[in-house]
């Protein structure tokens, strides 16, 4: 994996968890708006909107650089619109990054010829 691909995946990982948190907070704010006088939906909506746009931009960049198949790319996009999906994306990308580091070390040490 080259540096630009690793950077694209890292950026997607960094934005996925905050995007998921902002989505959950937006849902809570929506409920509070309808049940109380508290209305933080405009603020949380703007924060979530910015994070979601960043997620989509970073997702497109990662898809372009990694050449994911359509199923994997679609999975990462669908998970972004589910309340806890961003956490799953972050965890899957973290595992993939750790596997890539292990494989690179093994190749460098001459233990694997892949």
Q: How far apart are CA 50 and CA 12, in angstroms?
A: 14
pTM: 0.83
38-80 confidence digits (pLDDT tens): 999 999 999 999 999 999 999 999 999 999 999 999 999 999 8
| CA 9 to chain centroid | 8
What is the pLDDT at residue 6? 85
């Amino acid at each position: 994996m080259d540096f630009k691909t690793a950077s694209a995946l890292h950026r997607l990982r960094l934005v996925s968890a905050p995007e998921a948190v902002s989505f959950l907070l937006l849902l809570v704010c929506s409920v509070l708006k309808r049940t109380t006088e508290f209305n933080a939906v405009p603020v949380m909506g703007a924060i979530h909107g910015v994070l979601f746009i960043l997620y989509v931009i970073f997702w497109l960049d990662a898809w372009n650089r990694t050449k994911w198949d359509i199923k994997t790319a679609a999975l990462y996009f669908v998970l972004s619109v589910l309340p806890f999906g961003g956490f799953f994306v972050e965890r899957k990308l973290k595992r993939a990054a750790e596997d890539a580091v292990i494989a690179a070390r093994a190749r460098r040490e001459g233990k694997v010829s892949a």
